[in-house]
Structure 1
Amino acid sequence: MTVDSWRLRIQHKSGFDYAGAVSSSYNEARMWPRNETRQAVLDARVEVWPPARTYRYEDYWGTVVTAFDVHAKHEALTVTATSTVETLPAGDLAPTGFAWEALSLPENVDRWYELLLSTKRTGLDSSLREIVADIKAAHATPHAAALALCEFVRGEVTYQPGATGVQSDALHAWEQRKGVCQDISHLTVGMLREMGMPARYVSGYLHPSPSAGIGDSVIGQSHAWVEWWAGRWTAFDPTNGVPVGERHVVVGRGREYGDVPPLKGVYAGPPSTGQGVEVTITRLR
């Protein structure tokens, strides 16, 4: 049996413009894809302008961080991450047979405790908690309930670029019934945790076309999706209503966006006048 893997080249350019000269800045980039079961990083590099020495480490959540300081005066900062990644199709979404009762076992609660807690961006209100209770009651297993929850969120919240900002939370997206992949993932993660299911927020990239031509470069996007644990980790993209497969590239995981921002830092100088982001993805195979 053959497996139809994809090979993707990703260029992610991000940075800041400032209202004047910045004397120094201290930065972290989370733009380096992970090596793991369903994807292999064949090549990766992160370049900084103005030039700066970089060093890499894995953070608490296992995300590769490229850290660097810039001490030359600069009015703009640009970080360009280029990588080539081999990806595999979606994994098995078949039921696991894992029961609700197993989620409350002390060993499972202790193991995944941090991924059961609500955060600033994943908190719910009483109406959402009632909806979660209804979905949970209607399904015999956590896995079935998780899939139904993803379908519910996708049916209720419209994907609309520009509807929210990076500081928005699940409740904001729910109240206006629209948001971006980050908001939809925060809402889904919050509802999964309300069911007592460990859930992770995943940051990465998505090739927008299932029928992508070999060698065609397209405007891609930074993307977010979710993973839940019901005896095993299952990855699903609630924004698009599909399992995570060959079009998805994982960069990092955490409790929410705040654990995996692509670029963040502090600096000494005048205010920032904006942040630019550009992602180009090419299917090589």
Structure 2
Amino acid sequence: MLLRVTHETRYAYTPPVETAQHMAYLRPRELPRQALLEHALEITPEPAQRSESVDVYGNGRAFFALESQHDTLVVTARSLVRTHAGATAGPGAADRAWEQVREHYRYRKDAPHDPAAEFVFASHHVPRHDAFSAYARASFAPGRPLFEATLDLTRRMHADFIYDGDSTQVNTPAVQALAQRRGVCQDFAHIMIGCLRTLGLPARYVSGYLLTQPPPGQPRLLGSDASHAWVSAYLPGADGQPGTWADFDPTNGRQPGEDYVVLAMGRDFADVSPMRGVLHGGAGHTLAVAVTVEPADEAGADDTHAGQPPARGP
């Protein structure tokens, strides 16, 4: 599937900002099932400094600095991505009992390094908490294969939780969102990661986009989408074979397919926030985010922007 993504972030500051430094995670990943064909990052006003790098998790990021007074900032990322439906799991990975995987990640002196082990530990937005394991246990019965249990957890969350954009904020604790059974995709991703990690299983946070379909007979509304978030769980291979990361979307109760675009991956939202920065001045601000994801053969219509905050999408 060939998808064109436009992600606009617009800040208005009162009073104006004197100087600022920003980091943007707005470049889609290069992955076996995803090819980045085009990418451009437009910044207004023009920054005095600008550079690109790759972080420890392989995510592309852009740094830029503004050294003159400004009362608005507009950052627009335009990307063309080709996606493919990926394999669900590697050979033997789907059949491993979840307890067997948990035991593999228990600390053992002189054990060989496993990069996935980093994603078993608590992180800024995903603490260890008994509430997570209590909710997860209904899916993780003794001896159940890890893939089957994780997919069941994904579907249970979709059935049990209500999507409510007014019920949480970016900094709402995941334990609180779990207790109220309400939230948005960022909350649901953090809750599911908490469930897996509390059981001793590696899980990471994925930010990206989802192609949404307009109602029958209605045109696609440009700028009306939002960025999305879901979960990637590690499935070790059998008999020493390489394992694989498999994606799960608790917001929609399914595994991501070619209608998803991966932007960045990390321990939680704090690692991959689309935009963050340090400002001198600008004590008050308003934020508007607009995201459009559309098949490339539909792209090119006039952009009318109105959207939702980053990573709090469908």
TM-score (norm 2): 0.82
Q: Cα 1:87–1:21, aligned 2, differ >3 Å: closer, same or farther?
A: same
User: Any conservation in 1 of the 2:248–2:255 contact (CA below 8 Å)?
Assistant: yes
Moved more, 137-146 or 107-116: 107-116
Q: Is 1:207 matched with 2:200? A: no
User: 8 Å contact 2:89–2:245 — kept in the other structure?
Assistant: no
The aligned counterpart of 1:104 is 103
What is the percent sequence identity of the aligned residues? 31
What does the per-residue CA deviation read over 1:34-56, in whole Å, with 9 as the maximum and x for residues that have no partner?
Answer: 11111111100111110114211
Q: CA deviation at 1:137?
A: 2.4
Aligned residues: 279
Q: Could you say which residue in structure 2 is the equivalent of 1:46?
A: 41
Deviations 1:10-68, CA, capped at 9 Å, x for gaps: 11001321112211100001011011111111100111110114211011111111110
Q: Among 149, 152, 165, which residue is 1:148 paired with?
A: 152
1:227 match:
232
Structure 1 or 2: more strand by fraction: 1
Relative to structure 2, which stretch is displaced further, 88-97 or 47-56? 88-97
- The correspondence of residues 68-107 of structure 1 with structure 2, limited to 5 A, is 68-92=64-88, 96-99=94-97, 100-105=99-104, 106=108, 107=111
Distance in 1, Cα, partners of 2:112 & 2:6 = 39
Counterpart in the other structure of 2:60:
64
Change (3 A) 1:280 1:118: same
SS at match of 1:242: coil
Report the alpha carbon displacement of residue 212 of structure 1 after superposing the two structures with TM: 9.6
Distance in 1 (CA, whole Å) between partners of 2:269 and 2:216 is 28
Say whether 1:191 aligns with 2:195. Answer: yes
Confirm or deny: 8 A CA contact 1:157 1:178 kept in the other structure. yes
Amino acid at match of 2:57: W
- Residue aligned with 1:172, SS: helix
Asked whether the 8 Å contact 1:15–1:276 carries over to 2, the reply is yes
Q: Choose which of 279, 288, 300 in structure 2 pairs with 1:276.
A: 288
Secondary structure (helix, strand or coil) at the match of 2:39 reads strand
Q: CA deviation at 1:127?
A: 3.6
Match of 1:7 among 2, 12, 18: 2
Unaligned runs of 5+ in 1: 1-5
> Is contact 1:217-1:283 (8 Å) kept?
no
Structure 2 counterpart of 1:19, one-letter code? T
Letter in 1 for 2:287: Q
> In angstroms, what is the RMSD of aligned CA positions?
2.3
1:167-186 to structure 2, matched below 5 A, reads 167-186=171-190
* SS at structure 2 position matched to 1:130: helix
3-state secondary structure, aligned to 1:252: strand
Uncovered stretches (5+) of structure 2, i.e. residues with no partner: 237-243, 298-314
How many angstroms apart in 2 are the aligned matches of 1:139 and 1:155? 24
Question: What is the deviation of 1:210?
Answer: 8.9
Deviation at 1:124, TM superposition (A): 5.1
What is the match of residue 246 of structure 1? Answer: 258
State the AA in 1 paired with 2:278. Answer: V
Shift of 1:139: 5.1
Secondary structure of the 1:266 match is strand
Q: Corresponding residue for 1:258?
A: 270
- Tell me the alpha carbon deviations over residues 65-102 of structure 1, each in whole angstroms, 9 at most, x when there is no partner: 11100011101111110000001125326962223324
* Alpha-carbon distance between aligned partners in 1 of 2:250 and 2:160, rounded to the nearest angstrom: 11
State the SS of the aligned residue for 2:151: helix
Corresponding letter in the other structure for 1:29: A
